[in-house]
Amino acid sequence: MAGAMETVADAARQENVARILDAAERLFRHYGYSKTNVADIARDLGMSPANIYRFFASKAEIHQALCARMLDGVYAVALEICRSKESAADRLRRYSLAQYRLTVEMMMDQEKVHEMVVVALERDWHVIDKHIDRMNALLAEVIREGIAAGEFPEQDANVAARCFGAATVTMCHPQMVAQCLAKENRATPDELIDFAIRALKK
């Protein structure tokens, strides 16, 4: 009986957390992160700020949770690509292009979303490091499979994954994408990917 009550309470909590995050994301996108406060989120939901604080200690904590949710979506796309049956090189290419597309669509098309991401990067939150670690692990897995298949020579897959990510970081870092987008004196996404894959084959 107690276990069932805890399950119901946990489900209710998760529902409230999701509602708060949905409202916060909607307001952050519309007004901007810096112009939205906890009272605005509470007002949008028809509840008191005190009720919000039952679930999140601060606006920054809400932002971290939103950032984690957004990055979970990015990871899910990457996971599907990296676990496909294509060659390792083709998966790395699709992975990189998907990261670039998501960065442009999710973070660059909407200035307010870009602001949210920039704040998260500047504050060096653990959710960013966790995301990078997960993505590097996926890349290492693909590279190991490429080594086993004879596509790439024997090498440390973990080091190779970190280097591949660093070589293509301008395709998924929102500030770098903003600076490099449509500038003729910068490498194109295809050029960067070709360069990084060739490096893995040497």
162 alpha-carbon distance from chain centroid: 16
Q: Can you list the domains of the chain with their CATH numbers?
A: 1-56 (1.10.10.60), 59-201 (1.10.357.10)
The pTM is what? 0.81
Encoding tokens for residue 102?
């998501």
* Mean pLDDT calculated for residue range 121-129: 75
Are residues 200 and 160 in contact, defined by beta-carbon separation less than 8 angstroms?
yes
Encoding tokens for residue 17?
């957390």
State residue 33's pLDDT score.
84
Read off the pLDDT band of 114 (50, 70, 90).
low
Angle at 62 between CA 139 and CA 57, to 5 degrees: 125
What does the pLDDT look like over 146-163, one tens digit per residue? 999 999 999 999 999 999
Q: How many residues does the chain have?
A: 202
CA 87, CA 93: separation in Å to the nearest integer? 10
Distances (CA, A) of 11 to 21, 29, 89: 15, 27, 42
Distances (CA, A) of 92 to 63, 121, 141: 30, 24, 11
What does the pLDDT look like over 1-35, one tens digit per residue? 555 555 756 777 889 999 999 999 899 888 888 89
State residue 112's pLDDT score.
62
CA 2, CA 10: separation in Å to the nearest integer? 12
Q: Which of 65-79, 115-129, 155-169 has the highest mean pLDDT?
A: 155-169
Q: Is the dihedral of CA 45, 76, 126, 105 positive or negative?
A: negative
What is the CB neighbour count within 10 angstroms for residue 16?
Answer: 16
Q: Spell out a b/e string for 120-156, using b for 16 or more CB atoms within 10 Å of the CB, else e.
A: beeeebebbeebeebbbebbbbbbbbbbeeebbeeee
Q: Is residue 181 predicted with pLDDT exceeding 90?
A: no
State residue 107's pLDDT score.
63
Least confident of 28-32, 103-107, 144-148, 196-200: 103-107
If you average pLDDT over every residue of the chain, what do you get?
87
State residue 109's pLDDT score.
55
Encoding tokens for residue 123?
């504050």
